[in-house]
A and B are shown apart, each in its own frame.
Chain A
Amino acid sequence: MIKVVKRTQMSAGKRALLQLLSIVLALVLTGLLLLLLKYNSIAVYREMFYGALGSLYRVQQTINKMIPLLIMGLGLSVCFRSQFMNIGSEGQFYMGAIGATFAIRLIGDRLGALTLPTMMLFSFILGGLWCLLPALLKRYYGVSETLVTLLLNYIAIRIVSYLQYSAWKDPEAYGFPKIANYPTAALLPKVFGVHIGWIIALILVAVIYFLLFKSKLGYEMAVMGDNLLTARYAGMNTSKILLASALIGGGLCGLSGMIQASGIERTMNDQMSSGMGFTAIIVAYMSRLNPLALVVGSFLFAVLLQGGEYIQSSLQISSDIAQILQGMILICVLSSEFFTEYKLSLRHKTGDGELAHE
């Protein structure tokens, strides 16, 4: 008979190994599924790898995908650190894009070099406000933020659709439902063949690292996230901390929407996130809300996304495979969390067990 028993604390190294093993397990399980669909799973994985990293161009494509994942992952880490369960990154991303587009409609390119900073500011504010709403509902009415942030995603996407198909539709697009392309001043310049979103992302990694691990606000977020009562006991202004983390977290997701619109799409549309807001949640969790680990995590997932897109054209396999793999990785990694707290042991055998609670 197998029994579940509590284990003593796990070392960081073992934990990393466990995560690695669970990714391998996800690859194996998805591989079995591929076999079932009569594909050579090794070949599929190899193609995915080449598709993501096989040439300079592909690496650039991969980095393009990594940027939004990383920035949204940073934003979500801020929220999750203070136990604000924001799963509305997708919606905040779109609201950010709306903010950027609105800024352009307002100022055009009259501000010259200030166009991009203005767009960033608008996107940050709109994304932040979109996240602040559920935080206020949580603070004043005890409404579950998980539910509200999730639902706000769909509202944001619909707003974008409305703008794209109706209010902000480009009259010169021959009836095609699209918003006019941004003026040149509103496009992010490229460095090493990739728009400068990657530089912004790396700066943000440093900023958020500082915020979370050095600043008073980050300290307060950590205490509040660990124990709300203790935060109150220590005289912390828990409302302020909650609202600040929602504003910063949502703002970063919004900024990411602006970067995607300006750096990749050159306009805004209701397809532009391709679900990356949700993927970013996985990335943030797998990276344990650590900005440095997020760099690695977002890169790995970008490889997965890019590789998935590539096999679609090269092997005529649906890129859904990559999504299945993503889901599988999430399930395996989250399930493996169980083993950081518990382990299985056979009954009536010498082994470890749970600690007696007296």
Chain B
Amino acid sequence: MHTSDTDYVRMLNISKRFGNVQANSAVNFSVRKGEIHALLGENGSGKSTLMNILDGIYAQDEGTIEIDGHEVKINSPADAIRLGIGMVHQHFKQVDVFTAAENIIGGLARPILLNQQKIYGKIQDLCERYGLQLDPKKRCYAMSVSEKQTVEIVKVLYRGAKLLILDEPTAVLTPQETDNLFSILRGMRDKGCSIIIITHKLDEVMAISDRVTILRKGHSICTVNTAETSPQQLTEMMVGAKVDLDIPYVMIPDEQKEITLEIKDLTVKGTGDKPKLNQINLDINSHEIFGIAGIAGSGQKELCEAIAGLQLAEGSILLNGQELLNQKPSQQMRKGVTLGFVPEDRLGMGLAGGLNIEDNAVLKSYWRQKGGIVNKKFSEHEANEIIDSYHVSTSGTKQVIRTLSGGNIQKVLLGREIMQKPSPSCLIVAYPVRGLDIAASRFVYEELNRQKEQGVAVLLIGEDLDVLIGLCDRIGVLHDGSLMGIVDAKKTTKEELGWMMLGQKMESINDKGS
């Protein structure tokens, strides 16, 4: 039998251009009935663009789409759903105060009066059929991230999708939730659904997919059977060069370490009774990378901002014996506190996106200049130092930050924080590789290791557990504002971290002490 006979959806020679960027060039991609197909590529390789074309959000400039061998035009997501294609986006679009059922039927053409029982029945049927667990009467604000994701999946199934596209579905899930999702997806595949999963995580590709298509810089490199490939081979195809997949770890003898940052009983009040941070105790040593794991919104932001003086808190935060608690950034700086802080949303805080590299380079040092003038020569010099040391690719120091790529924006921020004078003795970095490609991520890891070697105490807020385990010395896990425990990164497992992220306190904490 010819392979193409079994193809369900075929995308042929798809090209799409955005301004100066060729997002897809002559991409070929096909999905069979009843398979899980991984679409693998780095950030900016064109995966999302290709799938958005299939979902009717974008229109291709060139190329054709066929379903069951017939050419189709997909002009909108409504067209896509008519053809049985549904997409679950990375960022869910839900009305928080609505119930699951209301969110599922929202946007559908329907009679004026709703037959609740019929809708519940249909949702229940779908859930039973595919092994999904969902309470249709539960309101969205009361749901966990994985429940919200289930709502999105049911929403697409309810509309009759036979081909499901999932965009980075595991980015927000714990390992346990990921396993659960994968078993559901396998079940759906066995019932004849086709599933496309967009990802850049290799272990997931290996774990779930039947075939994998690799995109690189807008080109489809090839499609292979997952069973016949390896993570190393996939990475090489994805990056286009041989890469070292191991996350570099630097061993520093314990004798050299001494306590740099001491956090005692740190509590941050929330709007209600429940605190955003609850009695956190941890020490971070010099020559150490201390990781924080946790589901997004478990208190990571509050922890970072309390240290940086941007969040009122109770307790105590000592950096080299100096109290930081409730000290505004300006007070900290004028007292000579040496702290570097790379916040999670680079353009939301940390950089002024509408200003140029020069203006951003002196953000923390301009006030040290004498007189009332900002010396532009000095700004230019600082900007050039960052650009040179961190290999920022830019048209010059006058380039507006917002127009740089994500990786280069991160380099400017990281560079400024690390190259502060006096150089920081403690560095807080939140999700530093978010949105960065493999080469840029690796650069960040190596830079953090360099700081560690130089004696800096690094607090790393992370989301990828493999990275945390690889890079850190110790890892603390936050759940709902509380510290579930601190483990030795070299002795822990993803599963152990996962359970703690879900709220299980580990009584056998492997804190090796310091």
Q: Select the residue from B18, B310, B400, B435 with max chain A CB neighbours within 10 A.
A: B18
- CB 8 Å contact bits of A225-245 with B (1 = contact, 0 = none): 011011111111100000000
User: Which residues of B have CB within 8 Å of A218?
Assistant: 374
User: Which residues of B have CB within 8 Å of A3?
Assistant: 59
Q: Select the residue from A214, A222, A229, A234 with max chain B CB neighbours within 10 A.
A: A234
User: Which residues of A have CB within 8 Å of B17?
Assistant: 350-353
User: Which residues of A have CB within 8 Å of B23?
Assistant: 355-356
> Which of B16, B331, B359 is close to A353, meaning CB atoms less than 8 Å apart?
B16
Question: Judging by beta carbons under 8 Å apart, are A348 and B374 in contact?
Answer: no
Q: Select the residue from A217, A227, A233, A351 with max chain B CB neighbours within 10 A.
A: A233
Q: Smallest distance from the beta carbon of B420 to chain A beta carbons, Å?
A: 12
Question: Judging by beta carbons under 8 Å apart, are B18 and A354 in contact?
Answer: yes
- Considering the complex, which residues of chain A in the window 88-132 have a beta carbon less than 8 Å from any beta carbon of chain B? none
User: Which residues of A have CB within 8 Å of B353?
Assistant: 226-227
Check: A46 CB closer than 8 A to any chain B CB: no
Q: Smallest distance from the beta carbon of B313 to chain A beta carbons, Å?
A: 16
> Which of B43, B59, B373 is close to A348, meaning CB atoms less than 8 Å apart?
B59
User: Which residues of B have CB within 8 Å of A38?
Assistant: none
- CB 8 Å contact bits of B36-49 with A (1 = contact, 0 = none): 00000001101111
- Considering the complex, which residues of chain A in the window 303-351 have a beta carbon less than 8 Å from any beta carbon of chain B? 347-351
User: Which residues of A have CB within 8 Å of B407?
Assistant: none
Question: Judging by beta carbons under 8 Å apart, are A222 and B367 in contact?
Answer: no
Check: B350 CB closer than 8 A to any chain A CB: yes
Interface residues on B, range: 35 or more
**Known contacts A351-B61, A356-B48, A358-B435: does B352 contact A222 (CB below 8 Å)?**
yes
**Known contacts A219-B359, A355-B21: does B352 contact A237 (CB below 8 Å)?**
no
Check: A223 CB closer than 8 A to any chain B CB: yes
Question: Judging by beta carbons under 8 Å apart, are A233 and B374 in contact?
Answer: no
Interface residues on A, range: 35 or more
User: Which residues of A have CB within 8 Å of B351?
Assistant: 227, 230
Cα distance, A218 to B372, chains bound together (Å): 10
Q: Smallest distance from the beta carbon of B80 to chain A beta carbons, Å?
A: 15
> Which of A226, A347, A352 is close to B352, meaning CB atoms less than 8 Å apart?
A226
Cα distance, A170 to B71, chains bound together (Å): 86
Question: Judging by beta carbons under 8 Å apart, are B372 and A233 in contact?
Answer: no
User: Which residues of B have CB within 8 Å of A352?
Assistant: 17-19
User: Which residues of A have CB within 8 Å of B435?
Assistant: 358
- Considering the complex, which residues of chain A in the window 1-15 have a beta carbon less than 8 Å from any beta carbon of chain B? 1, 3, 5-9
Question: Judging by beta carbons under 8 Å apart, are A227 and B349 in contact?
Answer: yes
- Considering the complex, which residues of chain A in the window 164-221 have a beta carbon less than 8 Å from any beta carbon of chain B? 214-219
Cα distance, A5 to B62, chains bound together (Å): 17
List B residues at the A interface (Cβ < 8 Å): 16-21, 23, 43-44, 46-49, 52, 58-59, 61-62, 75, 90, 308, 310, 328-333, 341, 343, 347-355, 359, 363-364, 366-367, 369, 372-374, 376, 400, 403, 435
Of the A-B pairs whose beta carbons lie under 8 Å apart in the complex, a sample of 12, sorted by A's number, is: A227-B349, A230-B351, A233-B308, A233-B310, A233-B341, A235-B364, A235-B367, A347-B59, A352-B18, A352-B19, A355-B18, A355-B21
The 7 closest A-B pairs by CB, nearest first: A235-B330, A235-B329, A8-B19, A226-B352, A229-B349, A356-B49, A226-B354
